[in-house]
Structure 1
Amino acid sequence: MLPEAFTDRMQEMLSAEEYQAFLKSYGEPKKQALRLNPLKGDSGRFLELCPFSLTRVPWEENGYYFDSEDRPGKHPFHEAGVYYIQEASAMAPVPFLAAKPGERILDLCAAPGGKSTQIAAAMQGEGILVCNEYNRKRAEILAENIERMGVANAIVVNHDSAQLSELFPGYFDRILVDAPCSGEGMFRKNEEAVTEWSPENVELCAERQDEILDQAAIMLHDGGRLVYSTCTFAPAEDEGSVQRFLDRHPEFSLLSVKVPEGMEPGRKEWAEGGSDELSKTIRLWPHKLMGEGHFLAVLQKEGYNEKEERPSRYGYATPAREKDYEAYLAFQKEHLRRNREGIPVLFGDQLYLLPKGAPALKGLRVLRAGLHLGTLKKNRFEPGHALALSLKKDEFEPVCNLTVGEGFAEKYLRGETFETKGAPSWNLITIEGYSLGFGKNANGIMKNHYPKGLRKNW
Structure 2
Amino acid sequence: MNLPVKFIEKYQQLLGEEATAFLTSLQSGKVQKGFRLNPLKPNFKQVRTDLSRPLNYVATGYLGAITGRSLEHQTGYLYSQEPSAMYVAEAAAVQPGEYILDLCAAPGGKSTQLAGKLQGQGLLVANEIDAKRARVLAENLERTGATNVQILNEQPAKLIKKFKGFFDKVLVDAPCSGEGMFRKDPAAITYWSVDYPRECANRQREILKSAWQLLKPGGQLIYSTCTFAPEEDEQIAAWLLAEYPTLKLLPLKKYSGMDNGRPEFADGRAELTRAVRLFPHHFQGEGHFIAKFQDTQPQPGRRLKRAKKRSNQ
Q: Partner amino acid for 2:98? A: E
8 Å Cα contact 1:100/1:122 also seen in 2: yes
Q: Partner amino acid for 1:283? A: R
Residue 253, structure 1, aligned to residue 248, structure 2: yes
Q: Partner amino acid for 1:65? A: L
Q: What are the superposed Cα offsets for residues 391-426 of structure 1, whole Å, 9 maximum, x if unpaired?
A: xxxxxxxxxxxxxxxxxxxxxxxxxxxxxxxxxxxx
CA distance in 2, matches of 1:20, 1:204: 27
**1:36–1:53: structure 2 CA closer, same or farther, 3 Å change rule?**
closer
Q: What are the superposed Cα offsets for residues 221-253 of structure 1, whole Å, 9 maximum, x if unpaired?
A: 111111100000000000001111111110111
- Unaligned stretches of 5+ in structure 2? 303-313
CA distance in 2, matches of 1:25, 1:52: 26
Q: Specify the SS of the correspondent of 2:53.
A: strand
Using the TM superposition, give the Cα deviation of residue 307 of structure 1 relative to its aligned residue in structure 2, in angstroms. 5.8
Higher strand proportion: 1
Match of 1:275 in 2: 269
Match of 1:79 in 2: 74
8 Å Cα contact 1:173/1:305 also seen in 2: no
Match of 2:121 in 1: 126
Q: What are the superposed Cα offsets for residues 406-453 of structure 1, whole Å, 9 maximum, x if unpaired?
A: xxxxxxxxxxxxxxxxxxxxxxxxxxxxxxxxxxxxxxxxxxxxxxxx
**1:53–1:35: structure 2 CA closer, same or farther, 3 Å change rule?**
closer
CA distance in 1, matches of 2:170, 2:5: 36
Structure whose alpha-carbon radius of gyration is higher: 1
**1:13–1:142: structure 2 CA closer, same or farther, 3 Å change rule?**
same
RMSD: 1.4
CA distance in 1, matches of 2:83, 2:290: 14
**1:53–1:106: structure 2 CA closer, same or farther, 3 Å change rule?**
closer
Q: Percent identity?
A: 46
Please, which of 130, 133, 157 is the counterpart of residue 135 of structure 1? Answer: 130
Q: Specify the SS of the correspondent of 2:68.
A: helix
CA distance in 2, matches of 1:29, 1:53: 21
1:131-210 → structure 2 map (5 Å cutoff): 131-210=126-205
8 Å Cα contact 1:102/1:128 also seen in 2: yes
8 Å Cα contact 2:37/2:45 also seen in 1: no
CA distance in 1, matches of 2:84, 2:275: 15
Which 4+ runs in 1 deviate beyond 6 A?
none
Using the TM superposition, give the Cα deviation of residue 53 of structure 1 relative to its aligned residue in structure 2, in angstroms. 5.9
**1:44–1:51: structure 2 CA closer, same or farther, 3 Å change rule?**
closer
Match of 1:299 in 2: 293
Using the TM superposition, give the Cα deviation of residue 150 of structure 1 relative to its aligned residue in structure 2, in angstroms. 1.1
Match of 1:100 in 2: 95
Match of 2:106 in 1: 111
- Unaligned stretches of 5+ in structure 1? 309-458
Task: Please give the TM-score of this superposition, normalised by the length of structure 1.
Answer: 0.64
CA distance in 1, matches of 2:293, 2:107: 24
Higher helix proportion: 2
1:286-325 → structure 2 map (5 Å cutoff): 286-305=280-299
Match of 2:4 in 1: 3
Q: What are the superposed Cα offsets for residues 300-321 of structure 1, whole Å, 9 maximum, x if unpaired?
A: 111344668xxxxxxxxxxxxx
Match of 1:57 in 2: 55
Using the TM superposition, give the Cα deviation of residue 42 of structure 1 relative to its aligned residue in structure 2, in angstroms. 2.5
Structure with higher RCO (Cα < 8 A, 6+ apart): 2
Q: Partner amino acid for 2:8? A: T
8 Å Cα contact 1:283/1:294 also seen in 2: yes
- The number of equivalent residue pairs is 300
Match of 1:23 in 2: 23
Task: Please give the TM-score of this superposition, normalised by the length of structure 2.
Answer: 0.92
Q: Partner amino acid for 2:5? A: E
CA distance in 2, matches of 1:237, 1:213: 12
